[in-house]
Structure 1
Amino acid sequence: MILRLLQFLQEDCPPTVRIQILALLRREWPQALAGKSDEEVAWPDNPETQPTSFVLLADSTVVCHVAVPWKTIEHAGESYQVFGLSEVVTHPSYRHQGLGLRLVSEATDFIEQSGADMSIFTCQPPLVSFYLQAGWEHAIHTNLVGGTRTQPFRSDTLGLATMIRFFSIKARRHRSDFLGADVYLELGENELW
C-alpha cells in the first residue's frame, strides 16, 4: 500500500478530502455532528486556532486524520504558544497497522518545528498508552479547561485524560506550573481539544 501525506490549513481542505474526514469524524464521534449535513458542519470548528490537518491517503481514500490547533495562552503569569492534537481518527479498515502513530508523529514534528512552547490535549483514558508510544506524557492531575472563564468546559468532568509535552526552554523550566494545575485554553463555549 502506497500512502501519501497531505498537510494543509483546514480552511484550505480539498472538498473530496473534507467529505471523507467528516465521515470519519461522524463515525467516531456521532454525537458531535448529529443532525447536521456536511454543508452545515463548521469545519474548522474554531478557525481562530488556525488548525493544520495531516492526512494519510491510500490512493484517494482518507486513511488517517490529525488536526493541530494552536493559540497563545496565559498561565501562572507567563505567555505560552500552545498547540494541541485533535480529531485524531483512523479509518476502521486501516487500524492496528501503526498508521495513526505515524501521523501523530508527523504532527508532533510539525508542532516542535513551529516554535511551540508546549502541547497539551485530551483523550479518552484507553488511548493514553497510544500517545505514550508517540512520546507524550500523561499529566494525571492536570485538567485542560476549554469553554470560557465564565462557562468552563473541563476535561475532568468529561472523564478525559490530559496529555502534555514541553518543547521550549521556558516551558520546561515552568513544567511544575502545569502539572496538577488547571490549564485554561478559552476556546469558546463547549470547545476543548
Structure 2
Amino acid sequence: MSGSEVTHTAFPTRVVRHPEADVPPELRAQALRLQEQAWPSEPGEAGDPSHDPALAPYSLLLVDGAGTVLAALDVLSKEIGHAGEGWRVAGLSRVVTDRTRQRAGHGRTLVAAALAEIRADGADLGIFTCDRPLRGFYTSAGWRELPGSVLVGGTPEAPFPSDQWDKVTMAAFLTPRARAAAPRFTGARIGLYPGDVDRLW
C-alpha cells in the first residue's frame, strides 16, 4: 500500500505507508530527524534504529505537497495469547510530530490513519502504551484507555512491564470476538512479549 490522500486544514496531505526497510531514503531521513527532536540519541547510539523484523514493522508518514514529513509513526504486530485465546494485535511506536508544526492536527490525523490501517490489516485489536498525559490525545483519535491494564514486554524469561513507569494502556477492539472479550483485557496484565529488540511498544 503506497498511501492515500487525506485532507487537513487548508492544504492537502497524504498518508504514506511503507515497510520499514523500504521507506524511501529522503522520507526516512526526515522521520529520523523528527525522532531525534523528540528523543535525542546518546553518544554512540545507532543513528538509524530499526525494529525487529519479526514484528512486521511498517512506517506511516504524513507528508505535505512539498514532500515534507509532518508526522511519523511505526506500526508493529504479532500474535499473543490472552485469556486462553490467541489474538492478532498491532501497536504504535515512535509517534512523533514536527515540533515546529505542532497543534495543527498532524499527529491526530496520522494516529487516526494508523487505526484505520490496523483495522484493514485484520488485527483483532490495536494496543500500546503511552505516557499518561497523552491519553486524551489518543482518545481523540479513536483509541480508548484500558484502566488498570499493564502490557508486559520483553520476553517471558525477562519480562519488561509497562507499570514500571507512569504509563497507560490504549486499545481499540476491532473484531466482534475482540469486542466481546474487551472486559478480559481491562485491568489485566497482558503478555505482549515482543522480544529483546522492541522490548515494549
Q: Give the equivalent residue in structure 1 for 2:59.
A: 53
Q: CA deviation at 1:36?
A: 2.3
Q: For 1:97, what is the secondary structure of its paired residue?
A: coil
Q: Give the equivalent residue in structure 1 for 2:142.
A: 135
Q: For 1:84, what is the secondary structure of its paired residue?
A: strand
- What do the CA deviations read for 1:162-190 (whole angstroms, capped 9, x no partner)? 10111111111111211111111111126
Q: For 2:122, what is the secondary structure of its paired residue?
A: coil
- What do the CA deviations read for 1:36-66 (whole angstroms, capped 9, x no partner)? 242xx332x2111112211112313211002
Any stretches of 5+ residues in structure 2 without a counterpart? 1-10
- TM-score normalised by L of structure 2: 0.88
Kindly report structure 1 stretches of 4+ aligned residues shifted beyond 6 Å.
Answer: none
C-alpha separation in 2, matches of 1:122 and 1:11: 24
Q: Give the equivalent residue in structure 1 for 2:69.
A: 62
Q: Give the equivalent residue in structure 2 for 1:35.
A: 44
Q: Map 1:14-163 onto structure 2 (within 5 A).
A: 14-31=24-41, 34-38=43-47, 41-43=48-50, 45-58=51-64, 59-163=66-170
Q: CA deviation at 1:94?
A: 1.3
Q: CA RMSD in A?
A: 1.5
Q: CA deviation at 1:3?
A: 2.3
C-alpha separation in 1, matches of 2:80 and 2:69: 32
Q: Percent identity?
A: 38
Does residue 164 of the first structure (1) align with residue 179 of the second (2)?
no
- TM-score normalised by L of structure 1: 0.92
C-alpha separation in 1, matches of 2:67 and 2:45: 25
Query: Which is worse superposed, 137-146 or 51-60?
Result: 51-60
> What is the total number of aligned residue pairs between the two structures?
189
Query: Which is worse superposed, 17-26 or 141-150?
Result: 17-26
Contact 2:37–2:99 at 8 Å: present in 1 too? no
- What do the CA deviations read for 1:84-134 (whole angstroms, capped 9, x no partner)? 011110001111011111111111111111111111101111110001111
Any stretches of 5+ residues in structure 1 without a counterpart? none
Q: CA deviation at 1:35?
A: 2.4
Q: Give the equivalent residue in structure 1 for 2:5.
A: none
Q: For 1:24, what is the secondary structure of its paired residue?
A: helix
Q: CA deviation at 1:12?
A: 0.7
Q: For 1:85, what is the secondary structure of its paired residue?
A: strand
Letter of the structure 1 residue corresponding to residue 17 of structure 2: Q
Contact 2:17–2:59 at 8 Å: present in 1 too? yes
Does residue 8 of the first structure (1) align with residue 14 of the second (2)?
no
